[in-house]
Amino acid sequence: MTTNEQIIREVYAAAEGASLDPDRFASLFHDDGYFLDQASGMRWTGDEVRQPIQGTASAFPDMHRELLSFYSAGDVVIVELRLQGTHQGDLMTPNGVVPPSGERFDIPCCDVFHLRDGKVSSFHCYNEFPAWLSSIVSR
């Protein structure tokens, strides 16, 4: 039997820069499931959930998520992690495009997933976007 933690580990594997698989990522969500980036307020629902990982992979082709801790209770999985990579492509933000800087980043993040019937119904990403942005802007 697949556990909720195993499902979420599959979500991360599908979003990883080296093994990016947007179709697999989206298949792990319910049709009405969504991805909410809390820092920017951006939300993607249904097939749109591919967009943030594709955009991230374009801006940060070496994107890596260092998974630190998993906490599961019922249909909720919380993950502490670090986002790491190099800014090598245009980054789309709510305020416009940030051109590539070549700068590395390593920022803390916490993700909260709700699952229903073995699929993600909601994914809330709490990242340090201001720290992320300041770390990739050329000095």
Is pLDDT at 15 greater than 80 in this prediction?
yes
The average confidence (pLDDT) of the chain is 91
How far apart are alpha carbons 59 and 133 in whole angstroms?
A: 12
Q: Which domains, from first to last, does the chain contain?
A: 4-136 (3.10.450.50)
Q: How many whole angstroms separate alpha carbon 38 and alpha carbon 137? A: 21
DSSP line for 42-71:
EEEEGGGGHHHHHHHHHH-TT-EEEEEEEE
| pLDDT exceeds 90 at position 128 | no
Predicted pLDDT at 18: 77
Q: What is the per-residue pLDDT across 66-125, written as a single tens digit (0 to 9) for each?
A: 999 999 999 999 999 999 999 999 988 777 888 899 989 899 999 999 999 999 999 999
